[in-house]
Chain A
Amino acid sequence: MKDRYLPLSVKANLVLLVILTLGLGIVTFLYYREVNDTITSSIENSLKNQSQILYSAIQNFMLPGEAPLAVQFFRDIQDLNPLYQVRLFRTNGVPAFSDNDTIQEVNRRINRNRFLPRETQLIQPTPAAPPKALDAAKNRPARDLFLRTESEGRVKVLIYKPLINLPKCTGCHGPDHTIRGIAEISTDITQSIQAQGETIVKAALLFGGALVALSLSLGRFLHRQIIRPVREIGEVCASVTAGNFQVRTSIEQKDEIGDLAFTVNTMVKGLHERFELSKYVSSATLQSLQDDSTAKKISATVFFSDIRGFTAFSEHIPPETVVELLNRVLSLQTDIIHSYGGDVDKYVGDEVVAVFIGETAPVQASKAALEIHRVLKEKADEINALGVGIGITTGELILGRIGSEKRADFTVIGDTVNTASRFCSAAQKGQTIISESVFRFLPPSLRTEGPYLLKVKGKTEKQRVYILKEV
């Protein structure tokens, strides 16, 4: 399955919904069952008590042979509550007191006509006992049977109580049977079931409402406290990646997210500072900061440039203008050096020291020099017609961390460097002096003058040099 992007709030809400719905379902189910069981068992208990009372009543009516009283008793109960029904059956299912059979049998058994047959039916005709009732009588040991029936939308609870042929009954009814009859008590519990259902629906609705409210507010909370800040942090990171260091998060929460935002802000600030700093530090410095070396010997081309007549010029104009012009000339040169793959090692006053590395370094440095002269000439108006003299040499030099422990620069030193500096001093405005070693690398397209022999400070022998000619 493919991983779909799901916002945290959706995930959290899903989890919440699933958990709560399950929980709600289980709780509702258990609650329903509990209530149902309680109602059923309390109804069963009360039916059981009632059947016991009924049994005693029947015993007491029947012992002196007062069947009519028993019949009246049944009628009275019936009239009290239409939802409540009491019936009495013989074990063969025929409703008791519905004919004169029992009277005749008792008279026969006691051998005299003590009980007179009744003309009219003793009790309103009722249907025969349901088979379930007869089962209750057949069970051994005979036991009360509870039933719950549902028909035509009415729920009824019934008890079938087998009436035992007690020793004291045997005088009239004979000893040849254990169960005399079955009492049925039924009550209609549709209403209480409905009420119970309503209660549960209400509770479930309440739970459901609470569930929705809860997940909504949780979603909002998550959105405000987590998702929005996380998005904002993400956006800041994206901006920084795109090179914009001005962005900051505006999150002020006092929690983990707030801490994260603060850290990100600090990080962006740090990155910005380092980025700014890297403008002032040569890539060699940055490089060696990274590889942790303190000094190494490399083959490179050294480029020196120096503004001609700058000192004299700076005496006559305000210092702000001096600095501005100086920066302008330096940055024009820097841009060109960079564009030819060079690396500005340092600025010393109006001087630029740059290093070119690689096989084509002498050519690149020479081209950069020519370009610098051209651009400076072109922008003469803007820069007060200032120009530079350039010296280029190539050879072995030492790159190292020079300075004290507190302040050190990575810079280049060595004979190659010194010589380039001397050549630069010797070059006139607009002129580039290159060493023999540089010259050897140049293609025919770059034209030169020379060789000339140049006497430089610190060297006994005169140096063979060439002057780069403008293209």
Chain B
Amino acid sequence: MRNACSTAILRILVGITCILIGVSACSKKETLLLRTAEYRTWEKTTPDILDYPIPGHEDKYRRIFISPEGYTPGITAKGGRTYYSFPAGTQIIKEILDPSWNGTDPPLMLTGMVKKPEDPRARGGWLWIVYVPKTGKEMVITEEFCITCHANANEPHPYGDKNRKNEFRDYVFFPPSVDSGPVKQDSSY
């Protein structure tokens, strides 16, 4: 009687443990916000070759991809100023590569912006994410670090078209060109 009972309890416990392990394994996969497997099929945001040093990534080589949701950001004018707004779900992934990248090595790191304004971890409507391929780990940066610097994208800055017109660029330094759309993949790099 007692034995039957305890084995039943044991079975239930084992079952629960399995479910928990399963769920946690699943949820672990689910928490990967960046669509790391497909980003290379997306368009690039700039034809520029980003190999010059910038603070944040210093002298690494960078490639920026944008998910189809963001190919044409919403653009509105308010009080004489132009405002860019990327739709929710937009992902911008910047690959950080070794300066002497051979074209096949995996990137050193991915930094990403995911438009998800309702997420409490979002800053300026974006989730700021760092992904390290070696470990497969993704980290959402809730500190001010990323956004502090990216706030400079919303005012004139030294990169790309330099935002001379002081447009609100939704924290993106290299928004896909509105007139021409995003840059088509080409074989130059």
Contacts from A to B (Cβ < 8 Å): 52, 141-144, 162, 164-171, 175-178
What 5 pairs between A and B have smallest CB-CB spacing? A141-B145, A165-B55, A143-B143, A167-B157, A167-B152
Beta-carbon nearest neighbor of B59 in chain A: A176
Contacts of A164 on B, CB cut-off 8 Å? 55, 145, 148-149
Residue B106 CB within 8 A of the other chain: no
Q: Which has the most chain A C-beta neighbours within 10 Å: B56, B156, B157?
A: B56
Using A141-B143, A143-B143, A143-B145 as known contacts, say yes or no to A168 and B152 having CB atoms under 8 A apart.
yes
Q: Which secondary structure dominates chain B's binding surface?
A: loop
Contacts from B to A (Cβ < 8 Å): 52-56, 58-59, 130, 141, 143-146, 148-149, 152, 155-159, 173
**Docked-complex contact B55 and A141, CB < 8 angstroms:** no
Using A168-B157, A170-B158 as known contacts, say yes or no to A141 and B146 having CB atoms under 8 A apart.
yes
Bound: A178/B157 CA distance, A: 16
The residue from A52, A143, A144, A175 contacting B55, defined by CB atoms under 8 A apart: A175
**Docked-complex contact B148 and A175, CB < 8 angstroms:** no
Beta-carbon nearest neighbor of A169 in chain B: B55
Bound: A171/B146 CA distance, A: 20
Bound: A271/B57 CA distance, A: 103
Contacts of A142 on B, CB cut-off 8 Å? 143, 145
Bound: A126/B187 CA distance, A: 56
Beta-carbon nearest neighbor of A168 in chain B: B152
Q: Which has the most chain A C-beta neighbours within 10 Å: B54, B58, B141, B145?
A: B145
Beta-carbon nearest neighbor of A162 in chain B: B145
6 A-B pairs with C-beta separation under 8 A: A164-B149, A165-B55, A168-B155, A168-B156, A170-B54, A178-B58
Contacts of A175 on B, CB cut-off 8 Å? 52-55, 58
**Docked-complex contact B54 and A166, CB < 8 angstroms:** no
Contacts of B159 on A, CB cut-off 8 Å? 167
Contacts of A177 on B, CB cut-off 8 Å? 55, 58
Using A164-B145, A166-B152 as known contacts, say yes or no to A178 and B130 having CB atoms under 8 A apart.
no
**Docked-complex contact B143 and A166, CB < 8 angstroms:** no
**Docked-complex contact B143 and A170, CB < 8 angstroms:** no
**Docked-complex contact B55 and A178, CB < 8 angstroms:** yes
Nearest Cβ distance between residue B152 and chain A, in whole angstroms?
Answer: 4
Contacts of B144 on A, CB cut-off 8 Å? 52, 143-144
Beta-carbon nearest neighbor of A171 in chain B: B158
Contacts of A167 on B, CB cut-off 8 Å? 54-55, 149, 152, 157-159, 173
Bound: A144/B143 CA distance, A: 8
Contacts of B55 on A, CB cut-off 8 Å? 164-167, 169-170, 175-178
Bound: A141/B53 CA distance, A: 18
Beta-carbon nearest neighbor of A173 in chain B: B55
Bound: A171/B58 CA distance, A: 15
Contacts of B130 on A, CB cut-off 8 Å? 141
Contacts of A141 on B, CB cut-off 8 Å? 130, 141, 143, 145-146
Contacts of A168 on B, CB cut-off 8 Å? 152, 155-158
Contacts of A162 on B, CB cut-off 8 Å? 145
Nearest Cβ distance between residue A308 and chain B, in whole angstroms?
Answer: 86
Beta-carbon nearest neighbor of A174 in chain B: B53
Bound: A141/B144 CA distance, A: 9
Beta-carbon nearest neighbor of A163 in chain B: B148
Nearest Cβ distance between residue B63 and chain A, in whole angstroms?
Answer: 18
Contacts of B156 on A, CB cut-off 8 Å? 168
Bound: A177/B52 CA distance, A: 13
Q: Which has the most chain B C-beta neighbours within 10 Å: A169, A175, A176?
A: A175
Bound: A392/B148 CA distance, A: 129
Contacts of B149 on A, CB cut-off 8 Å? 164, 166-167
Nearest Cβ distance between residue B89 and chain A, in whole angstroms?
Answer: 24
**Docked-complex contact A178 and B56, CB < 8 angstroms:** yes
Bound: A142/B147 CA distance, A: 12
Bound: A169/B149 CA distance, A: 10
Contacts of A165 on B, CB cut-off 8 Å? 55
5 new A-B contacts at CB < 8 Å, known A143-B145, A168-B158, A171-B158? A167-B149, A167-B157, A170-B54, A176-B59, A178-B55
Q: Which has the most chain B C-beta neighbours within 10 Å: A142, A164, A171, A177?
A: A164
Contacts of B145 on A, CB cut-off 8 Å? 141-143, 162, 164
**Docked-complex contact A176 and B53, CB < 8 angstroms:** yes
Bound: A52/B148 CA distance, A: 10
Using A143-B143, A144-B143 as known contacts, say yes or no to A166 and B58 having CB atoms under 8 A apart.
no
Bound: A172/B141 CA distance, A: 28
**Docked-complex contact A176 and B58, CB < 8 angstroms:** yes
Nearest Cβ distance between residue A86 and chain B, in whole angstroms?
Answer: 19
Nearest Cβ distance between residue A51 and chain B, in whole angstroms?
Answer: 10
Contacts of B54 on A, CB cut-off 8 Å? 167, 170, 175
Q: Which has the most chain A C-beta neighbours within 10 Å: B53, B55, B58?
A: B55
Nearest Cβ distance between residue B48 and chain A, in whole angstroms?
Answer: 15
Nearest Cβ distance between residue B9 and chain A, in whole angstroms?
Answer: 33
Nearest Cβ distance between residue A169 and chain B, in whole angstroms?
Answer: 8
